[in-house]
Structure 1
Amino acid sequence: MLTISDDERRRRLQVRHRLSETDHATDPDDAAASLLALHASDPASVYLSVLARAPEAKLADVSAALYERRSLVRLMGMRRTLFVVPGDVVACVHYGAALPVADRLRRGIVKDLEKLPTDPAIEGDVDAWLTDLERATIEVLGVRRTATAAQISADEPRLRTAILPVSDKKYDIRRTINSRVLTMLGAYAHIVRGAPRGDWTSRAHSWEPASNWWPDGIEPLDPAAARAMLAQRWLRAFGPATIADLQWWTGWSLGHTRTAVAALDTVEVALAAGDGVVLADDLDETPEVAPRAALLPALDPTPMGWKHRDWYLGDHRDALFDRNGNIGPTVWWAGRVVGGWAIAPDGGVRWRLLADAGAEAEAAVAAEAGRLEPRLESTVVVPSFRTPLERDLSGA
């Protein structure tokens, strides 16, 4: 069995994820394509992930790709997580990962409406009631063309149906189904998240009909074929890797993961993390790479790309992750995480190395922080998930 070293994996990471001195993305579309999908649970991460890889890109360029050209689409996908993906990836993400998530979301809504008290009470078949509500909601948005959740529920009052508390627990409160239904319809790609209501860091957004993006609908794909396509694209960007890495990233069952890989032309390889696979046409060694410093945001797709992370993370987990496994802003050098960074209340970029990476690396990190500050246009970005080092550096 061929052995692929951690050094080789780090060289590949730098080149393919646009983190070397000579490998840069040309624009937001190019940056997203190199990573397959950008994490979008925190809207700011999409912008910062692009800026870290495309030196000439501006914040407005990312917004244009998302909301003017619509070459990048924000949708729910793997692991019930929001991602931004290039247009040519939408179909395999939709059929290979998003639809099962949408089905689970819908079953959850039906279960709660059937078992818990609601205001107003729902009479008759809950599943049929929800089906009619879905149809009406899509029709409302079709007329409005773009609307906030509040505007949609004003036109379709059933979205304001509330699930009532059944205990005195603090978390058990009255909750309307508005956001759950819209999120579920988004996972089915019946509606799409539109431009934010505010600046580029805003978590409030509008909704638009799916026809604004896909007038003829999303190209149909067999789910098994879609999973194989998604696995192939992921291995191209993140391989070699273990089956466990791919299963974690996609959120698939082990059976679906193995079947998707079996449909591809792959070679088994030995990695420090265990047995892995690589595409059969991707065995060549990567030439030596000229490193550069990179400041990657919270939930960036590179550190979140694998389940087994020791080969690039080292022993920095406690400082850089929150209790739920979400990574904060990281400093990279030569394919490794060497520190963390944050944005202070005055807009300054503060950073700290957690490993002795050498004088060249330290100077490069300082220079990269200096380049990033003006590109943020005085915006203070606070990650959705705060980590120990990010809190310390930002003074939170």
Structure 2
Amino acid sequence: MVGHLVGLQAQAVPEPPYFGLWSRLDGFRPEALTELIERRRVVRVALQRGTIHLVTAADCRTLRPLVQPVLDRALRGAYGKRLAGLDPAEVAARGRGLVEAEPRTFQQLGQLLGPAYPDRDPAALAQAVRAGLALVQVPPRGLWGRSGPAAHTTAEHWLGQPLDPAPSLAAMVRRYLTAFGPATAADVQKWCGLTGLGPVLAGLAPELVLLRDEQGRTLYDLTDAPRPGEDVPAPVRLLAPFDNLLLSHADRSRVLPEEYRTRVMTQNGIVLGTLLVDGLVAGVWRIEAGTLRVRPFAPLRSSELAATEEEGALLLDFTGGERVVVEPADG
């Protein structure tokens, strides 16, 4: 499932990827993912949109070179002035030796680079290394029930293999469509953070199905992909914070009604856990001191309320919580 989704967003630790898999896999238990992380089968690395994702080792090696422009653009925007005049490749090379000697936090990395660049901001130096190298966060960071600093080493060092020297953008786009199609070119670009993917989709068009949405936009999909009709039931679900379903399209209104967007996606970049009713976001949830609190945006029908309570009980069985409280609708 980690591979099918082309990774799960994972900058918040440790729950979102675990919740994301729980909502999709019957019988999923946290130790299954923890084992994959500890065995280096999956890793935490900056990828799509420049954010931390949990991906398979193979996808780390393939995707990280493809999204290099995203990391470069983010570095220029946030730290360009503070790094002006430096050779980014030289800074990255110095950083490689440091993080491969032992995993480092960005604070440690900046301090260690400081003597070589005494007039530079250590934080900017560390971010230059982050952009220039494929840095993975090593355990216990991101493990269920445990904690640890965001300490980094290179993917090549951690996995014992080089990055893919010739990764395919077309293959990445096919992977995206497998998980999230039908989708527009803007959707693909929003998902990964890259621009100019129209020609890639145009090149793939002969092997894809081209559809139109209500606004007349072209949607691309795989020929054999499932496309359920609008009358297919969509059960009540509790989606993880930062869930892929909410972050993988430019047009988020296909799942998240626009009037609810600011209640789910906060100004400081947090994406809350959500309640999905009939395929659309209908509320948010949080767990506090063993209590799962679900806040609908509008009153639920009795069947929807019962299904929400049942789904909540399953989530508490997963987390070890004690009770479900469905709060009064705030809309």
TM class, shorter-length? 0.7 to 0.9
Indicate if the aligned counterparts of 1:38 and 1:46 stay in contact, CA closer than 8 A.
yes
Match for residue 103 of structure 1? 72
Aligned partners of 2:141 and 2:147 also within 8 Å: yes
Q: Is the 8 A contact 2:100 2:157 kept in 1?
A: no
Q: Displacement, 1:158?
A: 3.4
Q: Tell me how large the CA RMSD over aligned residues is.
A: 3.2
1:267 deviates by 2.9
CA contact (8 A) 2:140 2:148 kept: yes
Residue matched to 1:142: 100
Partner SS state of residue 248, structure 2: coil
What's 2:33 paired with?
62
Q: 1:234 to 1:358 in 2, by over 3 A?
A: same
Q: Which amino acid aligns with 2:17?
A: V
Deviates more, 1:274-283 or 1:198-207: 198-207
Going from structure 1 to structure 2, the CA distance change for 1:176 and 1:94 (only over 3 Å counts) comes to: closer
Which of residues 265, 280, 283 is equivalent to 1:339?
283
The alignment partner of 1:369 has SS state of helix
Q: 1:277 to 1:347 in 2, by over 3 A?
A: same
CA distance in 2, matches of 1:272, 1:149: 46
Query: Post-superposition shift, 1:194?
Result: 0.9
5+ residue gaps, structure 2, are none
1:258 matched to 2:202? The reply is no
The answer as to 2:310 corresponding to 1:367 is yes
TM-score by length of structure 2 reads 0.81
Q: CA deviation at 1:374?
A: 4.1
Counterpart in 2 of 1:313?
256
Matches within 5 A, 1:159-308: 161=118, 163=120, 176-177=123-124, 179-185=126-132, 188-189=133-134, 191-196=135-140, 200=144, 204-222=149-167, 226-253=168-195, 256-264=196-204, 265-282=207-224, 285-286=227-228, 289=232, 291-308=234-251
Task: Measure, in 2, the Cα distance between the counterparts of 1:273 and 1:82.
Answer: 33
Q: What is the SS of the residue equivalent to 1:53?
A: coil
Contact 2:34–2:143, Cα closer than 8 Å, also in 1: no
Q: How many angstroms does 1:350 deviate by?
A: 0.3
What is the alpha-carbon distance in structure 1 between the residues aligned to residue 154 and residue 270 of structure 2? 31
Give runs of aligned pairs for residues 105-120 of structure 1, distance below 5 A.
107=76, 109=79, 111-114=81-84
- Is 1:323–2:267 an aligned residue pair? yes
1:45 is paired with a residue whose SS is helix
Secondary structure of 1:35 counterpart: coil
Aligned-residue identity in percent: 24
Does structure 2 conserve the Cα–Cα contact (< 8 Å) formed by 1:294 and 1:333? Answer: yes
Shift of residue 231 of structure 1?
1.2
**1:331/1:341 contact within 8 Å kept:** yes
- Whether the 8 Å contact between 1:342 and 1:349 is mirrored in structure 2 is yes
2-side partners of 1:297 and 1:213: how far apart?
Answer: 28
Q: Report what 1:171 is aligned to.
A: none
Cα distance in structure 2, aligned partners of 1:106 and 1:312: 31
Q: Which has the bigger relative contact order, CA under 8 A and spacing at least 6?
A: 1
CA contact (8 A) 2:234 2:278 kept: yes
Describe the SS at the equivalent of 1:274: coil
C-alpha separation in 1, matches of 2:54 and 2:314: 25
2:297 to 334, 354, 364: 354
Q: Is residue 53 of structure 1 aligned with residue 11 of structure 2?
A: no
Asked if 1 retains the 8 angstrom alpha-carbon contact of 2:107 and 2:126, the reply is no
Q: 2:59 pairs with 76, 89, 98, which one?
A: 89
- Report the Cα distance in structure 2 between the residues aligned to 1:240 and 1:218, rounded to whole angstroms: 30
- Paired positions, count: 317
Larger radius of gyration: 1
Structure 1: runs of 5+ lacking an equivalent: 1-29, 115-124, 165-174, 380-391
- Partner secondary structure for residue 285 of structure 2: strand
Aligned residue number for residue 77 of structure 1: 47
Q: What is the TM-score of this pair, normalised by structure 1?
A: 0.69
**How many Å separate the matches in 1 of 2:35 and 2:285?**
27
* Alpha-carbon distance change, 198 to 52 in structure 1, aligned in 2, over 3 angstroms: closer
Deviates more, 1:231-240 or 1:351-360: 351-360
User: For the structure 1 residues 210 and 305, does the alpha-carbon distance in structure 2 shift closer, same or farther, using more than 3 Å as the test?
Assistant: closer
Change in CA separation of 1:246 and 1:70 when aligned onto 2, cut-off 3 Å? same
Q: Give distance in 1, aligned partners of 2:269 and 2:109.
A: 34
Shift of 1:334: 3.0
